[in-house]
Structure 1
């Protein structure tokens, strides 16, 4: 179909992505993160627990 715009259609390469703050793994945009995309920092509970804590030394 000439002139048809490319869209998601199950291909994640069209979605935005960024590295997780803590572990550096690549995260791909998810619909459930649409409202807080900038606040997502952890890929799992294990990653969250491994994050450095403020004030704990």
Structure 2
């Protein structure tokens, strides 16, 4: 039987739109490095490229 992983032990990121933390999801396993937003709603409300902070 597979060992369960607690949600607190999963990888976390900060949403680029709402600035809230969100956890890794199985459906994002292949593209986790590319995920920037916690939901479709935040992705639709993303800030324009002119307002994004460049490092």
Q: What range is the shorter-chain TM-score in?
A: 0.5 to 0.7
Q: Distance in 2 between matches of 1:54 and 1:15?
A: 29
Residue pairs, 1:6-17, within 5 angstroms: 9-17=4-12
- Count of residue pairs brought into register by the alignment: 48
Relative to the length of structure 2, the TM-score reads: 0.63
Once the 2 structures are TM-superposed, how far is the Cα of residue 10 of structure 1 from its aligned partner? Answer: 4.8
Once the 2 structures are TM-superposed, how far is the Cα of residue 54 of structure 1 from its aligned partner? Answer: 3.6
Relative to the length of structure 1, the TM-score reads: 0.61
Residue pairs, 1:1-57, within 5 angstroms: 9-54=4-49
Once the 2 structures are TM-superposed, how far is the Cα of residue 43 of structure 1 from its aligned partner? Answer: 2.2
Coordinate RMSD, CA, aligned: 2.0
